[in-house]
Amino acid sequence: MAHIKHYTSYILFALLIVAQTGLCEELPEGFYNEADGKQDGALKDQLKTLIRDHKAIPYGTGATSTWGVFYYSDRDEEGYCMDMYCDDWYKFTTPGAAVTGCNIEHSFAKSWWGGSNNDAYKDCYHLNPSNSQANSARSNYPLGVPEKDIKTAGSLRVGKKHHPTLDVDFSVFEPKDEYKGDFARAYFYMATCYGHWSNGEIDPVLSSYNGWRLDNKDVGSKFAMQNDNYLEFQPWEQEVLIQWHRQDPVSIKEIRRMDAVSDFQHNRNPFIDYPYLAEYIWGEHMGEPVDMSLLVASSDEAFIPGVSNGWREGGAPTVKPKYGVSWSVNDEIIQVDSITQNKKIPALPETPLSCSVTSDCFMGWTTAPIQGTTDEAPDKLYLSATDIPSVTADITYYAVFAQKTVIDGGDPATYVFDEDHQAGWTTDAENKSGYWLLDEGKTLVSPEVNLSGLSAISVRIRTYGGKEYNQLDVHAGDQLITSFVTTTGSTLTDYTWTNTGTLSGKASLTFSCPVGGSKKGIGISNATIEATGIRVLYTDYLTSCNQSGIDEVNSQESRAKSHKFIRDGRLLIRIGEQVYTITGQRVR
């Protein structure tokens, strides 16, 4: 018989469960001590270290499987299954048996890491008993507030919202208000337990796609997750989760559920134990080291379930003032952000589309405008938001432009592609055992090369699928540079081409097999390109992105100098193949 849910205190039932089963693993004393003083990614790393190594519970029915955990973690005082997806509740029967009309829901969709049956797949901190129809309607959508095409499924609202940067509509699901914090903290847990380390290393759970899956518009992670840094979530989703975390504080139901799950898995959800930790990773205190003495645990008698936010005084700390951060191009403000005191700017604006110069001329942002040609570099030129100090006052950042001059020649350069060297190279070829298969139009593309300084190309290749597919072509754009023909069949053999002609300009080299066919082509184990380097100089700061006509730089003098020098009152920056952060002072 169905039961329309009602709310009573869970405290007596929690005590009853402990008395009957001996369950309820408590927070070990000093468990979070090592988190003290850490901030941002280092703090998340420490929490991951604490919770990642845990017992994986078998997925499905059975007393020691998922439904066995749910019997203790999601059963109310009358024996009903507390379904957060639907108000129509049914009773548990025996430990480990599935509840009528319910299945196991991955609140953090399994397709987001590729669906592999791994630790994340079986982790009860994000698994919930769910009405099967509501589960199906929710699909693999992320949490969010739908804006149109809204439908009700169980107690969920499902619909579309517009993505702020991809400029497309996508689907989200919204739980009831009393469960929004529960879901947010489950997402925080999953992002911490299975997300990236702050150094970029990925968790084994993410190995299928080298991060969260972002390649498929039918998988919700494309619209909610990112692989750029330890924050895991895209900014819009981060904002939703931290807001829900605040408006729906940790409840006694959630505490009891964590204690029951912990008894099986032997790990914790840090954002239920210490709710305010989320503010130091995704909220108002990003960029600040955590002082654990200022936080109150949900197990502390000072913590009031459903009310306390985890700050020692029982309420939010003093609200920090916000400052205006402006971005100026040619004396025109293009963007204004509001940033909390001592918080880092999350991102830098890209080169404005309205600017008529190419991106090669955009150098970065500085706190003081550059007034035409000058013999003094800015104190600091910011190319990454992580380089910008925390905001302590209203500030304007100014775009800096410079004329770019490319000079052939320079230091020798070697570009290597093999099992251990792939930086700057791209390929869509299949990685076989010991080589990459260039078939069916697949290519291997090198970094940009100075063609006038190109001296030699070496490859190690073999045939694949028949000796008639024995040729490897190397192009620079539409120009065929050389072809390698292997006559040794399936044996990997070395070949070298030496340049005796005249080439000019710069381009990436493309390696491909001219004859296609399924699983027929050339296998390439490694490639080496030898050439002189490309010297890139930036001359003259420009006050207007429309300015042009800067004098050419004497190439002989530029080769004779170091990374930066002054010529005729101008600061010159030699950057190689990429733009480095410019830190400079007056040079005489």
Q: For residue 47, tell me if it sits in a domain.
A: yes
pLDDT band for position 560 (50/70/90)? very low
pLDDT tens readout for residues 469-479: 789 999 998 89
Q: Residue 8: pLDDT above 50?
A: no
Q: Based on the fold, state whether residues 241 and 376 are members of the same structural domain.
A: no
Query: Is the residue at 581 inside a domain?
Result: no
Name the DSSP class of 559. Answer: H
Q: Domains in the chain: how many in total?
A: 2
CA atoms within 13 A on the CB side of 312: 7
CB atoms under 10 Å from CB of 567, counted, come to 16
Same domain? For 83 and 173 the reply is: yes
What was the pLDDT predicted at 110? 96
The predicted pLDDT at position 406 comes to 58
Look at residue 217 in the predicted model and tell me its pLDDT.
94
* 355 shares a domain with 248: no
What is residue 544's predicted lDDT score, i.e. its pLDDT?
Answer: 45
Instruction: Report yes or no: 381 and 364 within 8 Å, Cβ to Cβ.
Output: yes
What pLDDT score was predicted for residue 404? 57
Same-domain status, 289 and 326? no
Domain co-membership, 328 together with 377 = yes
188 and 329 part of one domain: no
364 and 286 co-located in one domain: no
Between CA 582 and CA 377 the distance in angstroms is 8
> What pLDDT is stored for residue 358 in this prediction?
46
Task: Identify whether the C-beta of residue 116 lies closer than 8 Å to the C-beta of residue 205.
Answer: yes
Q: Which residues are CB-contacts of 479 (< 8 A; sequence separation ≥ 6)?
A: none
Q: What tokens were used for 469?
A: 């597919």
What is the Cα–Cα distance from 91 to 147, expressed in whole angstroms? Answer: 34
pLDDT confidence of residue 357: 46
Write down the pTM of the prediction. 0.57
Is 261 part of any domain? yes
353 and 289 share a domain? no
Give the β-pairing of 570-574 and 479-485. unpaired
Domain boundary among 338, 372, 402: 402
Is residue 302 in some structural domain? no
In whole angstroms, how far apart are CA 400 and each of 281, 368, 397?
32, 9, 9
Query: Are residues 326 and 290 part of one domain?
Result: no
Supply the range of the domain harboring residue 329: 322-402
Residue 569 burial (10 A CB sphere; 0-12, 13-18, 19+):
exposed
Indicate whether 236 and 358 sit together in one domain: no
Q: Above 60 in pLDDT, residue 538? A: no
Mean pLDDT of 319-324: 76
Distance between CA 298 and CA 185 in Å, rounded?
Answer: 13
pLDDT for the residue numbered 100: 95
Asked whether residue 249 falls in the same domain as residue 346, the answer is no
CATH for 331: 2.60.40.4270
Question: Could you tell me if residue 55 is inside a domain?
Answer: yes
Domain boundary among 381, 402, 423: 402
Residue 408 lies in a domain: no
Cβ neighbours around 194 below 10 Å, total? 25
Over residues 137-189, the pLDDT tens digits come to 999 999 999 999 999 999 999 999 999 889 999 999 999 999 999 999 999 99
- Using the Cα atoms of residue 402, residue 406, residue 410 and residue 412 in order, give the sign of their dihedral: positive
pLDDT bucket at 581, cuts 50 / 70 / 90 = very low
pLDDT, tens digit, for every residue of 368-389?
A: 766 544 434 455 677 777 778 8
Give the pLDDT score at 465: 79
What pLDDT was estimated at residue 409? 60
Residue 107 in any domain: the answer is yes
Residue 186 vs residues 54, 189, 275, 432: alpha-carbon distances, Å = 16, 5, 12, 38
Please tell me whether residues 32 and 179 are part of one structural domain.
yes
More confident residue, 60 or 357: 60
Q: Decide if 98 contacts 61 (C-beta within 8 A).
A: yes
* 460: phi then psi, degrees, rounded to nearest 5: -120, 115
Range 215-239 average pLDDT: 96
**What mean pLDDT, rounded, does the chain reach?**
81
Task: Give domain status of residue 51, yes or no.
Answer: yes
pLDDT band at 541 (very low <50, low <70, confident <90, very high): low
**Residue in 357, 203, 181 with CA at minimum distance from that of residue 269:** 181
Percentage above 70 pLDDT, the chain: 78
Q: Which of 402, 421, 447 is the last residue of a domain?
A: 402
